[in-house]
Amino acid sequence: MGSKILRQGDRYKAKLEKTLADGKVTKQEATAILRDAKDGHFAEVEAHYLSSFVSINAKKFDPAAHQKLLDFVKTEMVAFAQIAGEDGLPTPRRQPAMTPDSQKNGARYEARSGHLVVNGMDLDDAVQGQVGDCYFIASLASLAKVKPELLAKAITTNPDGTFTVTFFEREKGQKTPTPVKVTVDATFPVRYGGPEYASARSSQELWPLVFEKAFAAWKGGFDAIEGGMAATALESLTGVKPEFFPVGDGVDANQVFKRLQAACGSGAAVVALSKTWDPSERGVVSDHAYSLLGVEERGGQRFVQLRNPWGQREPGHDGRDDGIFTMPLATFLTSFATVEFAKLP
């Protein structure tokens, strides 16, 4: 949003917060807010803040005041109603439900300031949070490494401060995938003052959070994206039909290395899935998706470079617990089960 809109939003946010100074919104205070809305100067940014205000502070409202605001949403401002997402109305801004565990533990949606991108989209930007979507975060990181411009093209910042993300969906037998646009706002689940789900290395960067929230909104909530295949995530993000091949200690090492070289050399986004049961290498998480960043030969040995989407916990001791590590091909084969990749145009 531009600076003028931000200033306007900050003023209106301050006004709303003032109404909660005594911990309750009365009918009189609700009437005053509605009067502002009806004076012909109720901007879209005010609608955005008011919708969040009503949602987040619902328990603090006097019941009659809360109902009066909801009635206003439904009957007098359809655009606002679309933002608030009331039942029976279109919901272009989608607020995916949090997982039951997050809800039980007190997570809540809060507005987050910052920039969509800080110093470009980097493979180490996206960090997985308290939802089991390692396959999705690992896919984002792999794409950020090989073709960040594809991710940049997939996300649009709207004039009202919301974001629209374009995914791709392919029905059975469909050759060309169908674009699916999902619009979300800049509120994200928070617990104990920090992000509950995806975060970014820079506290001011939002793109990993926006992609994950939009994906959850599309699929039916954060609980719906618990567990999945990187191949599905890669196709959803790129529209490219993915490929995969098995790896393991019983697979020919030379053949695997050649296929990894070919995939990485083609500029494909590559993700590796670790074994379901305990991998042989200490520090490798079982049944977990890792971004596969590249392969190399040095000193007569072959190596594979990977990244844990947690942004930490890695085998080896390179002095940086950032989740990025290199392991011998032989160890990779005894620790991982499948490689999934998408060859990008």
- For 15-66, the DSSP string reads HHHHHTTTS-B-HHHHHHHHHHHHTT---HHHHHHHHHHHHHTGGGB-HHHH
In degrees, to the nearest 5, what angle opens at C-alpha 116 toward C-alphas 113 and 120?
135
Predicted local confidence at residue 196, as pLDDT: 95
Candidates 275, 304, 278; CA nearest to 289 is: 275
CA angle, residues 313, 315, 316, in degrees to nearest 5: 120
**Distance (Å, rounded) from C-alpha 50 to C-alpha 73?**
10
- Continuous segment of H or E residues that includes residue 332: helix 329-335
Task: Report pLDDT for 33.
Answer: 67
Supply φ then ψ for residue 298, to 5 degrees.
Answer: -155, 140
Q: How far is CA 274 from the centre of its chain?
A: 22
Contact 322, 261 (CB under 8 A): no
Query: Rounded to two decimals, what is the model's pTM?
Result: 0.73
Q: Token match 């053949």: residue?
A: 255
Closest C-alpha to 273, from 179, 181, 336 = 336
DSSP annotation of 115: B
pLDDT on residue 2: 39
Closest CA to 188 of 211, 165, 167: 211
d(CA 166, CA 183): 9
Specify the pLDDT at position 191: 92
Secondary structure (DSSP) of 218-257: HHTSGGGGSS--HHHHHHHHH-PPPEEEE-STTS-HHHHH
In order along its 345 residues, the chain shows pLDDT tens digits of 334 444 555 565 566 666 666 666 676 776 776 666 555 445 554 555 565 566 666 666 677 766 666 665 544 444 443 443 433 333 456 789 999 999 999 999 999 889 999 999 999 999 999 999 999 999 999 999 999 999 999 999 988 888 999 999 988 778 889 999 999 999 999 998 899 999 999 999 999 999 999 999 999 999 999 999 999 999 999 999 999 999 987 788 999 999 999 999 999 999 999 998 877 778 899 999 999 999 999 988 999 999 999 999 888 767 688 899 999 999 999 999 999 999 998
